[in-house]
Amino acid sequence: MVEAGQAYNAANQLLVDGLEEFLQYYKKDRIVMLKETRREFLRIRDDLDVAIAKNAQVSRNKPQDGEKASHLLLATRKCFQHFVLDYGLQVFSYFHAQYTFFHQGYDLLKDLEPSKKKMAEQLAQLTTDVTAKRREVEYAHQLSQQKDVLDDSTNNPQDKLTVEGYLFKRSRKKSKVWNRYWFSIQNNQLVYVKSHKEEPVLLFDDLRLCTVKALDNIERRFSFEVVSVQKSCMLQADTEGLRRAWVAAIQGSIDMAYREQTESAYPQLLCVLGNDIINSIYEARCFQEGPVKVTAANSWQEKEAWIKAKYVEKRFVKKPSFSMQGQSLVASQTSSSEQHLGLQLYQAAQEGHLGNMAAALAQGADINWANKEEEGRTPLISAMHGDSLVACEFLLLNGANVNHRDNCGQGALHAATYRGHTGQVCLLLKRGANQYAVDERGLDPLSIAVEAAHADIVTL
């Protein structure tokens, strides 16, 4: 007991001495040094803000003042970058010293086995992170000494998904004051923040309804404007290169927002058809032909033969008839089975009946059959009359010509636009429909949308 008490007192004294030495050392040297470095860092950061503001306020009619302001901004920014790296190295050095101290304390507290294991894991991870971060900062410090050109302030401006950086924004109030905020493009929206303590402000919530253009007719340089159907906003970058990058990034985000937010009807199509409807078509004559439907217990060769007979050779599909079950319209009496199947597909597309459409295609109907009695319209154009998005998707998946035009020069895109079917218009544009094709009146789909006052289609 006496020996254990002596060992405890010795360990306790070592711990107290270590704490005292640690506090005195950092109070006199490291903490003071960090505070001085931070004050210098804040001073240079303020100088950088002043240089950026002066550079932005230079008139385009004073090129000499603009060149001086740009050189001053370059020098101030490089100095700021050096101080940022030095400050970071001192902070990491301070953390490393803290790690060393607590590691020694861990060695003295061997009796706390559960806490010792937990602390060991944390310290090991901290050691790895600090070492990797130190190497990264030292490497960046070496690169900054060799760099003699101005670094762009935006993070990856060519990235169409997430772009961010500082921009000047003109106030919409009467004063027209220009304020500097941190802008970013995220989830097809343009947002900005006034400070890190505040929530982001949504400037444009849907980039599909926006356009962007450079402004060369105002006093401030490097300006551009984002315009939507509801409002417009003038922004200013620090350099011409950054302005071009932001304009390209916003335009790319607008294009991507249009492509990504066009909903596909394919999942709904799968739900409407299902296995029961497809099997009733492709296995209609299965029992008449004799083969027994394969199961999971059959061999791979038997399964392959069954699939080829069912889907490739279409051996079990019911032969076409001259009546159309479940339809309100009756096919015209023609001498050609092909004409009958084409008409069956045409009528089913107009009614949006996927089962009859699948049956007609399985029996050999031409996906691009033209109905001569109705101005040469195809099943895809006929589907535009019924406002069935899944019918349109079904025809396109089976190879329908999206740019086929009838005798009046109108295609599926013209028909969907005329009737104001926004979902079908988006789907056709996504599949490569020609939006510049004109009909016999000389109207393209956009002109038809303007004439019919379909605002949702005009803004696509």
DSSP string spanning 153-179? Answer: SSB-TT-SS-EEEEEEEE-SSTT--EE
- Give the whole-angstrom CA distance, residue 136 versus residue 117: 29
- Give the whole-angstrom CA distance, residue 29 versus residue 23: 10
Query: Could you tell me the sign of the dihedral formed by the alpha carbons of 361, 364, 369, 372, in that order?
Result: negative
Tens of pLDDT along the chain (460 residues)? Answer: 445 455 556 666 766 676 666 556 555 556 667 778 778 888 888 888 888 988 888 888 888 888 888 888 888 888 888 888 887 887 888 788 778 877 777 777 666 677 667 777 888 898 888 888 888 888 777 767 655 444 444 444 444 445 788 999 998 877 788 999 999 988 778 899 988 778 888 888 877 778 899 998 888 999 999 988 678 899 999 999 899 989 988 888 877 766 655 445 556 666 666 777 877 787 777 766 666 677 777 787 887 887 888 777 777 777 776 544 444 444 444 445 667 788 888 888 888 888 888 888 888 888 898 888 888 889 988 888 877 788 888 888 888 898 888 888 888 888 888 888 888 888 888 888 888 888 888 888 888 888 878 777 777 6
- Give the whole-angstrom CA distance, residue 422 versus residue 437: 18
| H-helix or E-strand spanning residue 182 | strand 178-186
Model pLDDT, residue 392 = 87
Model pLDDT, residue 328 = 43
Q: What is the pTM of this model?
A: 0.42
- Give the whole-angstrom CA distance, residue 452 versus residue 267: 31
Model pLDDT, residue 330 = 43
- Give the whole-angstrom CA distance, residue 67 versus residue 346: 68
Alpha helices in 58-112 (DSSP H): 63-108
Specify the DSSP class assigned to residue 372: G
Model pLDDT, residue 264 = 53
* Model pLDDT for residues 301-338, shown as the tens digit of each residue: 887 887 888 777 777 777 776 544 444 444 444 445 66
| Strand boundaries in 207-311, DSSP class E | 210-215, 223-228, 232-236
- Are the C-beta atoms of 456 and 422 separated by less than 8 Å? yes
Q: Give the up-direction half-sphere exposure of residue 12: CA atoms within 13 A in the CB hemisphere.
A: 6
Model pLDDT, residue 235 = 94
Model pLDDT, residue 19 = 63
Coil, strand, or helix at residue 450?
Answer: helix
- Give the whole-angstrom CA distance, residue 130 versus residue 407: 73
- Give the whole-angstrom CA distance, residue 35 versus residue 25: 15
